[in-house]
Amino acid sequence: MEETPAHLAARPSWLLTQVAVHAHRLAAEGFGGVGARGYHYRVLAALDEFGVASQAELGRRVSMDRSDVVATVNELAGGGYVERTPDPDDRRRNRVSLTAEGRRRLRRMDRVLDGVQGELLEPLSAEERRTLTDLLTRLLTHHQRT
């Protein structure tokens, strides 16, 4: 294994990127094992927490491009995990809702993601995991405001 140049290894931005790549790979493998994708999880989680939403609202809530939301909702609707109905206030807009099967699918994906988190954060104690999560949340919140 080649050594990382010290100029990079000492930079939090580089470290965050490298860990993010690893986290994405673990999540993709975990979700792939149950025939799902990360986009599926984002949409199902948003619908579970916030309720019925337009596709545009979903995209904004979970930071997805409009075309990716449409494709993801199509896939989830095809599996019976969400229902898409015309918005009674604007027939050009669709409203997306979570089905009972979608809620079960989300719970299964939660268990997969819990395993991924365990693997990703394995060398950290419970307290260190909470601290890392708090610090990352602060950084993300700050940068989402600016």
Number of other CB atoms surrounding residue 30 within 10 Å: 21
Res. 87: pLDDT tops 70: yes
- What's the pLDDT band for 89 if we cut at 50, 70, 90? confident
Which architecture characterizes domain 16-145 according to CATH? Orthogonal Bundle (1.10)
- Chain centroid to CA 56: 17
- What's the pLDDT band for 90 if we cut at 50, 70, 90? confident
Read off the pTM. 0.89
Indicate the domain borders of the chain: 16-145
Rounded mean pLDDT, 40-68:
96
74: phi then psi, degrees, rounded to nearest 5: -60, -45
Q: What is the pLDDT, as a whole number, of residue 1?
A: 57
Please tell me the least confidently modeled range out of 47-51, 70-74, 92-96, 118-122.
92-96
